[in-house]
Amino acid sequence: MTGDNTELERQYRKNLMLVSMIVLIYSIAGGSFDKDITFSGAKLTFSRPHWIEMFMIVVMIFLQWRHWLVSGEIRRHHRSEVLNGLFLASNKIRYMIYVFNPGVTFKGVDDNGFAIVKYGERIGRIKIEIIDVFFTFILIKMTCSSKWLDGDELSVHGLTKDSCRGYGTPHILTNRELSAVRSRLNSDGYGLISVRYKRIIPFVILNVSYRARWIFLSYREVWFGDSLLPAFVTGSALISFFLSKMIG
């Protein structure tokens, strides 16, 4: 983010937080405008005071839109930090067995944190790294602890580096997925596996792992307030405002 954009982002954030907090407190407290308002000793009469409320909402939405435009780099930094070295807990890999060859079973977790999976007489130790999270699918990558003398340890489980490209796997990237991967990761997704929302349990487990790291970093890191807190306050203010109108 350039210096000009940094200062612009700060100004929009400050103004947005001020307006959003006013709307939020106003809505929660059940505020309203009368037709007659006294300002600096002068009495002002409004024939349509409800338009003042709508004006505040319009200003808040405008500021949110502008802040969203200038804070993109901060949000991207936040996302990259969440995904940096994000691995699924190895005891949850039992729910990912469906991506392996039929007959692969989960046996536990070793002392180094690798999941132990078995196929016939062969035993492998693997981890699952969460590469990126999209709305309808999640990209993961399998890594193994070592290599067999006769090839990659993953190969005996049907998870070679070409696993997302063939060998009968159901995880070949669709054209839509490939387009999203190229746009965000600037790659063809080589070696990645797509876990889609139709696989509810694995999809939810991966999502929970991502959201848990997201919440943890948001609590710990300062730049959370710069990138996402204004949007949360704005959303809360809008919900509170419309709920107050529906209930009132």
Task: Give how far Cα 122 sits from Cα of 33, 93, 107, 119, 131, Å.
Answer: 74, 17, 12, 5, 27
Domain count, the chain: 2
Per-residue pLDDT of 47-58, as tens digits, reads: 677 787 888 899
Residues 141 and 177 in one domain: yes
Residues 107 and 52 in one domain: no
| 8 domain residue, yes or no | yes
Q: How far apart are CA 80 and CA 71, in angstroms?
A: 15
Residues 98 and 155 in one domain: yes
Residues 126 and 64 in one domain: no
Per-residue pLDDT of 57-116, as tens digits, reads: 999 999 999 988 888 888 888 888 889 989 999 999 888 877 766 677 888 898 888 888
Structure pTM? 0.72
Compute how many other C-beta atoms are within 10 angstroms of the C-beta atom of residue 130. 21
Residues 157 and 60 in one domain: no
Range of the domain at 111: 86-198
Task: Give how far Cα 77 sits from Cα of 74, 186, 217, Å.
Answer: 5, 16, 12
| 48 domain residue, yes or no | yes
| 161 domain residue, yes or no | yes
Q: How far apart are CA 239 and CA 248, in angstroms?
A: 14
| 209 domain residue, yes or no | no
Instruction: Specify whether the CB–CB gap between 190 and 153 falls below 8 A.
Output: no
Instruction: Tell me which residues of the chain have a pLDDT lower than 50.
Output: 147-151, 153, 156, 160-169
| 131 domain residue, yes or no | yes
| 76 domain residue, yes or no | no
